[in-house]
Structures are given as C-alpha cells and as structure tokens.
Amino acid sequence: MNPANRLEPRGSYEPLLAPGSSEPLHGCDDALLAQVWAVLETVPDPEIPVVSIRELGILRDVRRAADAPGLVEVVITPTYSGCPAMGQISEDIGLALNAAGLAPARIVTVLSPAWTTDWITPGAGEKLRAYGIAPPQGDRPAGAQPLRFMPRGRPAADQPPCPHCGSPHTERLAQFGSTACKALYRCLDCREPFDYFKPY
C-alpha cells in the first residue's frame, strides 16, 4: 500500500494526487482494499456533510488485519479526543461497506498521532468555505502563544476571512463554535456569524 495512506509518525497527511486532478491515488495493489477505499471516499462527515471523512483526514488507513488477513481494518482518528461523532462515523462506515457487499470490517480508532488540520485535503478547504465554515489558514500554532490586547472591534491581522462575503474584518465571539474543533466568529461587515476550523 502507498505510504501516503498509512499512519504517519509526525501526524502529517499528504495524499498523492493524480496528475492534473484533485483525486487521490491510493496506489493500492490489493483489489479488496482498493474497493474499500473507493466506497469510503463517499462517506460524509456527519457534522460537515459537504466533506468526506477522507477529505477531513479522519480516515487514516485501510489495511488487512494482522491477526486475520481475510479481515479488513479501517483506521480512523477523531478530530479531537472525545468527539461525539465517532460512533456515528463508525456506523456510517459499516453501513457503506455493507451496502457495497464488502462487510465485515474491523474499525480501529487511533488517537496517536493526534489529528491536526494538516490532514484536511486541499480541496476540502473550498468545500468548507462554500458551506459557510472558514477553513484553517496558516500554520497551526506551536506551543504557547503570547496574548495580544487590541481595542474592541479592531480585527487581528490573522483573523480568518468571512466565508460569506470574503471580508477580512472579522472578530472571534467564542473560543468554541458548534464543535470543540471550531471557534465562533462574526463578520464586522456583513454581520454574519460563522464557524472557523481552528488550526491545530
């Protein structure tokens, strides 16, 4: 199997892309595993249905079980520890494989390396923006960040742009949005609130 589909020790995820395409090349020489990958490409994230669990980086690997070569293991990693959607994701994977006649499969949840926004595929960012969620921008923070005190209403230089109107004039309303991996922001121009996928 292509190394791009394996768990990476540093938590990076760079899917190989077909030339001139946004579609990943899994390079899988096992017909069954290739079928499973193809089916799981279509499983949406239950909280953000415009992206698949692969595009969000939750789907980490599809492999033969070491203790039972006839059994397929599907490796998933939550966006944050304790994510309540993991049960639904496991169920959706099972239903998709069953509908395709590829069940049974063992679903393995792996917490280390921890998921980061680096695992979100490049094409998923535009889908998130079109859905009204600002995708992560820039590098994820490393270690403690200094506090910056600014006058109220003045946007910081690294604020995410509004996914609705594109304005860079936004402000954070809350550290946590609809889920723990997102923050709640508001646009100061169009006044629309939006979630921002925090880089980490």
Residues 158 and 115 in one domain: no
Q: Judge if 35 and 10 occupy the same domain.
A: yes
108 and 177 together in one domain? no
Q: Are residues 23 and 51 in the same domain?
A: yes
Residue 179 structural domain: 132-141+154-197
User: Which pairs count as long-range contacts for 17-23, CB under 8 Å and 24+ apart, including other chains?
Assistant: 22/121, 22/122, 22/123
Please state, in angstroms and rounded to a whole number, the distance separating the CA atoms of residues 66 and 56.
26
List the CATH number of the domain containing 44: 3.30.300.130
pLDDT at 85 exceeding the cut of 80 = yes
Residue 29, pLDDT score:
59
Residue 194 reports pLDDT greater than 90? yes
Position 126 in a domain = no
Q: Over range 158-181, report the average pLDDT.
A: 88
Tell me the per-residue pLDDT of 123-143, one tens digit each, with 9 for 90 and over. Answer: 999 999 999 999 888 654 454
pTM of structure: 0.66
> Does the structure show a pLDDT above 50 at 16?
no
**The total number of structural domains that make up the chain:** 2
Residues 61 and 103 in one domain: yes
Whether 125 is covered by a domain: the verdict is no
- Mean pLDDT for the chain? 79
